[in-house]
């Protein structure tokens, strides 16, 4: 089974998730700067989620670039990832509108945790299909970043009830870790082309 | 006529349907767990519809993988399928917001029935174009699952007025039947490649 | 300039237009059949617009299948067509919610007229680029259907103020004319492949 | 890394942005012409933003047509551009609903400025990857238009507090400058193909 439609479908879903998040910005009733004031937390949560979705798209892009073919199990592992990502507009909107209240911040972390776990499952399904000696398996390696992210989310989510800003700082930390481009996959891909 | 744009267009429509269903989750006004409580039935109906849409995308993917080309009749049979799928966000939202009341649960079943019937018509149009001896026809076979689904929907829909949970259990049953990957098409495709 | 991205972008826009039209179906507050009653005109207008968008996607598909390449002028002629199509959710929603009042029905016709005119301009831009002797020009031919549609819209729009149902019947007539597959383009394409 | 998925993802996001802008047109409650009257400023701002998004898609299309491959830095420069474009539905809606009040008009200019700057950064990232002697670098040239646009936005934004129509006239001026097709890139592309 070719991977083209899986990529196209995932691109479509991620593109729509990113874009409908902006629908949470309700056009304010006033027409001066103070009308924007109440939108600041919504904007901050939007920026964070936009970056997170960008990271997922980027990693998904790299991952499937390294893949050669897909099977039914991979299709469903991918659908599972898209499910948790599809809840991002909701958890982002709730976090922003509640001005970063404990429960919404914790739920945001839970969704990130489940999406991260789904991504982990997807990599496992891909490695199982391509073999442990494949370039894909080499490219993914031990996936320190992915597992570190899950640990940080696990710590950050309960922290939301102690200090919401600390929890958010940890979410931002994960984003920063991933924003640094992953040299392993690019290196392996480059090596393969030689 | 090549099938590329038909696949791309269907991917787009299904991706958007899946994603705008999440817009039915209105961000709650409260900021604690009780605010989420009223969203539970909306979430449950969302999960069911997400899985159903995933199954349709998956089957559509398999079906068109086996197809070689399309004609005007196939384009319209596909459009007909997309029409009933496009009503999924509405019937899902109504079922969730009414907390699984009889009429919304029945209407949900009617939409599933019509989408299933449209899928059946699409397979017929594809087989008519490729011939009864084609790999596609072999891959579809007698389509027991598809016809079984239609029968279950026919039974489940009136049952919604007797016991909504029984009707929903039957919808879930159809999903489970399809979630098991279809070995026939994959087998035929693999055989063809040899 | 290759036509691939123009097709992909148009597919995306048309897929989204079709799908967001369904957002006009607001989930009703009641949970029985009477709650659906007020949605009937919205549904009827949705069906009509879905068919119209399907026709546009189908014709667009055929047209660009016959095209070999595009230029800046064609890109903008296509964007112009997408502009009028992008207003379809609005005019459809207004027509449905006003229960087919004269002004909304007339505005619907105006939008169809302008979209039809934009399609005509797009065919002219494509023929100008490919030459009068090209397969594309032969495939489009004298475009009787396209010009007939424009004439019907021109008649139907003012008729909306006399009898809205007559105007709507004429819109449906245009849809029926187009639903019959266009043998000319398919014939020319088939001839070329030989 | 191939550019295909970057193009597809950008197409998706831009297509959705263009299409959800139309959701700002709330279906009016009345059913005659006066009901449309209050939508005129929303329509005008929609037309302007549609043209702007069309220009971005067009330029993006040309730019990536000239590109051969992408890297992580280019992916993020592209994501950065999509971020500012994703705010277009919001700033467009606010400008329209406030009937072109000073703050919304200024914010619209700020978003255009930041999107224009992000496009500039994207061209730099592409040139850095392809080399100063590449066809891409030659195609982009000194990018007078891009830099001129940034200067006009810088002038127009504060002008919104003096005279909103003057600011809007300058935004329209930028659109007109770009609507004239860019002969340099097309010329270089044509030359390369020879």
Q: Which chains are adjacent to chain C, needing at least 3 Cβ pairs under 8 Å? A: B, D
Helices (H), chain D: 4-20, 33-37, 40-66, 72-86, 88-97, 102-130, 135-140, 144-159, 164-179, 183-193
Residue A90 has pLDDT above 90, yes or no: yes
The Cα A104–Cα A90 span in angstroms is 10
- In tens, the pLDDT along A136-183 reads 888 888 788 889 999 999 999 999 999 999 999 999 999 998 887 655
Residue A192 has pLDDT above 80, yes or no: no
Rg (CA), chain C: 18
Instruction: State residue B51's pLDDT score.
Output: 96
Q: Is C186 on the interface with B (CB under 8 A)?
A: yes
User: Distance, in angstroms, between D107 CA and closest chain A CA?
Assistant: 10
Q: Is D53 on the interface with C (CB under 8 A)?
A: no
Residue of C nearest to B100 (CA): C31
CA-wise closest residue to C114 among C63, C149, C142: C149
Number of inter-chain CB pairs under 8 A, A vs B = 78
Residue C194 has pLDDT above 60, yes or no: no
Q: Is D97 on the interface with A (CB under 8 A)?
A: yes
Q: Is C57 on the interface with B (CB under 8 A)?
A: yes
Beta carbons of B12 and A12 less than 8 Å apart: yes
In the structure, what pLDDT confidence band is assigned to residue C184 with cuts at 50, 70 and 90?
low
- pLDDT tens for chain D, 194 residues long, are 678 889 989 999 999 999 989 888 888 888 888 888 889 999 999 999 999 999 999 899 889 988 888 888 999 999 999 999 999 999 999 999 999 999 999 999 999 999 999 999 999 999 999 988 888 888 888 888 889 999 999 999 999 999 999 999 999 999 998 887 555 555 655 565 54
Q: Using an 8 Å CB-CB cutoff, list chain B residues near C15.
A: 9, 12-13, 16
User: Distance, in angstroms, between B19 CA and closest chain A CA?
Assistant: 6
DSSP, residue by residue, D54-77:
HHHHHHHHHHHHH-----HHHHHH
Q: Determine the average pLDDT of the residues in C136-148.
A: 86
Which pair of structure tokens corresponds to residue B49?
């519809």
Report the 10 Å Cβ neighbour count for B123.
19
User: Distance, in angstroms, between C87 CA and closest chain B CA?
Assistant: 18
Beta carbons of A19 and D13 less than 8 Å apart: yes
Instruction: State residue B190's pLDDT score.
Output: 57
Beta carbons of A22 and D103 less than 8 Å apart: no
Instruction: State residue C190's pLDDT score.
Output: 57
- In tens, the pLDDT along D133-186 reads 888 888 888 888 889 999 999 999 999 999 999 999 999 999 998 887 555 555
CA-wise closest residue to C111 among C180, C167, C162, C40: C167
Number of inter-chain CB pairs under 8 A, A vs D = 78
Q: Which chains are adjacent to chain A, needing at least 3 Cβ pairs under 8 Å? A: B, D
Instruction: State residue D182's pLDDT score.
Output: 57
pTM of the full structure? 0.90
**Given A9, A24, A102, which is nearest B15 (Cβ)?**
A9
- In tens, the pLDDT along C43-90 reads 999 999 999 999 999 899 889 988 888 888 999 999 999 999 999 999
In the structure, what pLDDT confidence band is assigned to residue B102 with cuts at 50, 70 and 90?
very high
Mean pLDDT of chain A: 89
Residue of A nearest to D86 (CA): A19
ipTM, interface predicted TM-score of the complex = 0.88
User: Distance, in angstroms, between C90 CA and closest chain D CA?
Assistant: 6
């Amino acid at each position: 089974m070719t991977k083209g439609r899986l990529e196209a479908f995932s691109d479509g879903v991620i593109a729509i998730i990113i874009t409908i998040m902006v629908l949470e910005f309700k056009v304010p009733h006033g027409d001066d700067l103070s009308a924007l004031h109440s939108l600041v937390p919504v904007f901050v949560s939007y920026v964070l989620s936009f970056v997170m979705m960008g990271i997922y798209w980027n990693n998904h892009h790299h991952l499937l670039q390294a893949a050669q073919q897909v099977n039914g199990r991979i299709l469903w592992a991918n659908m599972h990832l898209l499910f948790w990502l599809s809840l991002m507009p909701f958890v982002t909107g709730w976090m922003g509108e509640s001005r970063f209240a404990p429960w919404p911040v914790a739920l945001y972390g839970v969704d990130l945790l489940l999406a991260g776990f789904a991504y982990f499952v997807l990599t496992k399904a891909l490695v199982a299909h391509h073999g442990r000696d494949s370039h894909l398996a080499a490219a993914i390696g031990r996936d320190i970043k992915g597992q570190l992210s899950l640990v940080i989310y696990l710590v950050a989510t309960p922290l939301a009830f102690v200090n919401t800003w600390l929890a958010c700082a940890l979410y931002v930390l994960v984003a920063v870790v991933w924003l640094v481009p992953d040299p392993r996959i690019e290196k392996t891909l480059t090596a393969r082309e030689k």
